[in-house]
Amino acid sequence: MKHLSEAVYNRLKQLNSQTYPGMADDDATYPYFTFSITSSSAMEYESASARGHKGEVVYSLQINVFTTSGSTDAAERIEAVWKNFELDPPMLEEGTLLAVYHGGGEEVSLDPERETDGSEVWRGIVILECHVLKEW
C-alpha cells in the first residue's frame, strides 16, 4: 500500500532499470526510467461516510525509458511497462487504483542528446491514465 508516486517508482524498479522521478541524475547509467505524475481531473461523489466525500481523481502518468541498446529495446521496455501496469495495477495507501488506461504515447525516437562516448540514445514514452478513488 503506497502513494501513487512511490508505487510507480517501485513498480518501475522491478523492471530492472534505474528509476528517477522527474529527471535522471547526471551519472545515470543506461537503461533507465523517468516518470512524472500530474492530476488532470477530479470528480466528487456524495458519500455517507464519516469522512465526508469520495471522489475519483484521474492522474496522468508519463513514463520515459532511455536506452543505448536501440529502438527495439526502447519499444520493448515501454510495452513491458504498459502491460505491467494494465495487468497488475499497484496497490495504494491513499485511495484505490480503480483502473489504468492507455493515454497515448508508446512513441520511440532518437534522442538528440548523445552519450559522452557518442552512442545513440533512444527514448521511449508511454502515457497512462490512472483512475484513483479517494475519500476526504
Q: What is the pLDDT of residue 48?
A: 47
Report the share of the chain in percent with pLDDT over 70.
85
The residues pairing with 47 across neighbouring beta strands, listed in sequence order, are: none
CATH of the domain at 11: 3.30.2000.30
124: CB partners within 8 A, 6+ apart:
64, 65, 67, 74, 75, 77, 78, 106, 107, 108
Residue 47 pLDDT > 60:
no
Q: What is the pLDDT of residue 52?
A: 61
| C-alpha dihedral (41, 3, 134, 81), degrees to nearest 10 | 60
Mean pLDDT of the chain: 84
- Sequence length of the chain is 136
For the chain, the maximum distance between any two Cα atoms, rounded to a whole number of angstroms, is: 61
Q: How many domains are there within the chain?
A: 1
Residue 94 pLDDT > 70:
yes
Q: What is the pLDDT of residue 31?
A: 93
Domain that holds residue 94: 4-135
**Mean pLDDT of the 30-47 span:** 77
